[in-house]
Structure 1
Amino acid sequence: MIMDCFQATCAANGELLPGEFAEAPANQIDAACERAADAALELRELSPEQLSEFLSAVAAEVRSRRSEIVARCELETGYINARVEGEFDRATGQLDLFARLAVERPWDRVTSEPADPARKPFPKPRMTRRFVPVGPIAVFGACNFPLAISVVGNDFVSAIATGNPVIVKSHPSHPGTCELLGDTVKEVVKRMGFPAGTFDLFHGRSPETSIRLISHPAISAVGFTGSPQGGRALAKAVLERENPIPIFAELGSTNPVFIGRDAMAARVGTIAEGFAASLRFGNGHMCTKPGVVIVHEADADAFVEATCKTFAKQPNLPMLSGPVADAFDRGIEQLQSAADVEQLFVAEGLDGEGPWHRGAHWFAMSAETAIRDGWLHSETFGPVSVLVRCPDEETMLRVAGEFHGSLTTTLHTETSDNDFAIDWLKVSERFAGRIILNGWPTGMEIGAATQHGGPFPASLDGRSTSVGHASLDRFVRPICYQNWPESL
Structure 2
Amino acid sequence: MNLTGEMLIGASFVRGNQGTQRAFNPATNQEIAEPAYGMGGAQEVEQAAALAAKAFDAYRSAPLTKRAAFLETIADNIMALGDALIERAHAESGLPVARLQGERGRTVGQLRLFAQVVRDGHFLRAAIDPALPGREPLPRPDLRLAKIPLGPVAVFGASNFPLAFSVAGGDTASALAAGAPVIVKAHSAHLGTSEMVGRAIQQAVAAHGLPEGVFSLLIGAGRQIGEALVAHPAVKAVGFTGSRQGGLALLKAANSRPEPIPVYAEMSSINPVFLLPGALASRAEAIGKAFAASLTLGAGQFCTNPGLVLAVEGAGLDRFMAAAKEALCGAAAQTMLTPGIHDAYRSSTSAVRSAEGVTEWVRGSDAGTQPNAAQAMLFVTDAARLLASPVLGGEMFGPAAVVVRARSLDELLQVAEHLEGQLTATLHIDAADSDDARRLLPVLERKAGRILANGFPTGVEVCHAMVHGGPFPSTSNAMYTSVGATAIDRFLRPVCYQDLPQELLPQALQASNPLRLWRLVDGAPARM
TM-score range, shorter chain: over 0.9
- 1:382-436, Cα deviation, whole Å (9 max, x unpaired): 1110000001111111111112300000000110111101101121111110000
SS at match of 2:398: coil
Give the Cα–Cα distance (whole angstroms) in 1 for the partners of residues 162 and 444 of structure 2. 31
Give the match for residue 511 of structure 2. Answer: none
Give the Cα–Cα distance (whole angstroms) in 2 for the partners of residues 316 and 85 of structure 1. 22
Cα deviation, residue 348, structure 1: 4.3
Q: Is the 8 A contact 2:17 2:38 kept in 1?
A: no
Give the match for residue 15 of structure 1. Answer: 30
Q: Counterpart of 2:445 in structure 1: which amino acid?
A: E
Is 1:331 paired with 2:348? yes
- 1:238-283, Cα deviation, whole Å (9 max, x unpaired): 0111111111111110100000111111111110111001111111
Q: Counterpart of 1:181 in structure 2: which amino acid?
A: V
Q: Is the 8 A contact 2:469 2:475 kept in 1?
A: yes
Q: Is the 8 A contact 2:284 2:317 kept in 1?
A: no
Give the match for residue 473 of structure 1. Answer: 489
Cα deviation, residue 119, structure 1: 2.8
Give the match for residue 306 of structure 1. Answer: 323
Cα deviation, residue 83, structure 1: 0.7
Is 1:361 paired with 2:392? no
Cα deviation, residue 367, structure 1: 0.1
Give the Cα–Cα distance (whole angstroms) in 2 for the partners of residues 301 and 374 of structure 1. 25
2:71 aligns with one of 40, 45, 55 = 55
After superposition, the Cα gap between the structure-2 partners of 1:375 and 1:396, relative to the gap in structure 1 and judged at 3 Å, is farther
Cα deviation, residue 487, structure 1: 4.0
TM-score under structure 1 length normalisation: 0.97
Is 1:147 paired with 2:166? no
Q: Is the 8 A contact 1:142 1:171 kept in 2?
A: yes
SS at match of 2:466: coil
Q: Is the 8 A contact 1:254 1:406 kept in 2?
A: yes
Is 1:228 paired with 2:244? yes
1:72 aligns with one of 88, 112, 115 = 88
Give the Cα–Cα distance (whole angstroms) in 2 for the partners of residues 472 and 337 of structure 1. 43
CA RMSD, 1 decimal: 1.3
Alignment gaps of 5+ in structure 1:
none
Q: Is the 8 A contact 1:254 1:376 kept in 2?
A: no
Q: Is the 8 A contact 2:106 2:462 kept in 1?
A: no
Cα deviation, residue 375, structure 1: 4.3
Give the Cα–Cα distance (whole angstroms) in 2 for the partners of residues 2 and 143 of structure 1. 24
Q: Is the 8 A contact 1:376 1:403 kept in 2?
A: no
Cα deviation, residue 142, structure 1: 1.1
Q: Counterpart of 1:330 in structure 2: which amino acid?
A: S
1:190 aligns with one of 195, 200, 206 = 206
Q: Counterpart of 2:232 in structure 1: which amino acid?
A: H
- 1:355-397, Cα deviation, whole Å (9 max, x unpaired): 2011211111110000110245311111110000001111111
Give the match for residue 334 of structure 2. Answer: 317
Q: Counterpart of 1:331 in structure 2: which amino acid?
A: S
- 1:110-143, Cα deviation, whole Å (9 max, x unpaired): 1211212223343321111110111111001111
1:159 aligns with one of 162, 166, 175 = 175
Give the Cα–Cα distance (whole angstroms) in 1 for the partners of residues 147 and 367 of structure 2. 56
After superposition, the Cα gap between the structure-2 partners of 1:350 and 1:402, relative to the gap in structure 1 and judged at 3 Å, is closer
Is 1:201 paired with 2:238? no
Give the Cα–Cα distance (whole angstroms) in 2 for the partners of residues 152 and 366 of structure 1. 43
Cα deviation, residue 482, structure 1: 0.8
Give the Cα–Cα distance (whole angstroms) in 1 for the partners of residues 420 and 262 of structure 2. 22
Give the Cα–Cα distance (whole angstroms) in 2 for the partners of residues 289 and 392 of structure 1. 25
- 1:39-58, Cα deviation, whole Å (9 max, x unpaired): 10110110011011111111
Give the Cα–Cα distance (whole angstroms) in 2 for the partners of residues 72 and 2 of structure 1. 25
Is 1:434 paired with 2:450? yes
Q: In the TM superposition, what are the counterparts of 1:166-181 in structure 2 within 5 Å?
A: 166-181=182-197
1:81 aligns with one of 73, 76, 97 = 97
- 1:289-335, Cα deviation, whole Å (9 max, x unpaired): 00100011213322111101101232111010000001001101111
Larger mean Cα displacement after TM superposition, 299-308 or 364-373: 299-308
Give the Cα–Cα distance (whole angstroms) in 1 for the partners of residues 336 and 247 of structure 2. 22
Cα deviation, residue 209, structure 1: 1.4
Give the Cα–Cα distance (whole angstroms) in 2 for the partners of residues 303 and 159 of structure 1. 43
Give the Cα–Cα distance (whole angstroms) in 2 for the partners of residues 171 and 461 of structure 1. 23
Cα deviation, residue 198, structure 1: 0.8
Give the Cα–Cα distance (whole angstroms) in 2 for the partners of residues 408 and 84 of structure 1. 23
SS at match of 2:131: coil
Give the match for residue 393 of structure 2. Answer: 377
Q: Is the 8 A contact 1:409 1:428 kept in 2?
A: yes
Give the Cα–Cα distance (whole angstroms) in 2 for the partners of residues 99 and 193 of structure 1. 17
Percent identity between the two aligned chains:
38
Q: Counterpart of 1:144 in structure 2: which amino acid?
A: N
1:3 aligns with one of 9, 15, 18 = 18
Cα deviation, residue 287, structure 1: 0.3
Give the Cα–Cα distance (whole angstroms) in 2 for the partners of residues 414 and 344 of structure 1. 27
SS at match of 1:20: strand
Cα deviation, residue 347, structure 1: 2.6
Q: In the TM superposition, what are the counterparts of 1:212-227 in structure 2 within 5 Å?
A: 212-227=228-243
Cα deviation, residue 485, structure 1: 3.6
Cα deviation, residue 96, structure 1: 1.4
Cα deviation, residue 352, structure 1: 4.7
Cα deviation, residue 6, structure 1: 1.2
Give the match for residue 417 of structure 2. Answer: 401
Give the Cα–Cα distance (whole angstroms) in 2 for the partners of residues 404 and 37 of structure 1. 38
Larger mean Cα displacement after TM superposition, 214-223 or 392-401: 392-401
After superposition, the Cα gap between the structure-2 partners of 1:78 and 1:260, relative to the gap in structure 1 and judged at 3 Å, is same
Give the count of matched residue pairs.
487
Give the Cα–Cα distance (whole angstroms) in 1 for the partners of residues 87 and 150 of structure 2. 36
Q: Is the 8 A contact 2:132 2:140 kept in 1?
A: yes
TM-score under structure 2 length normalisation: 0.90
Q: Is the 8 A contact 2:329 2:363 kept in 1?
A: no
Q: Counterpart of 1:33 in structure 2: which amino acid?
A: A
After superposition, the Cα gap between the structure-2 partners of 1:282 and 1:415, relative to the gap in structure 1 and judged at 3 Å, is same
Cα deviation, residue 190, structure 1: 2.0
Q: Is the 8 A contact 2:106 2:164 kept in 1?
A: yes
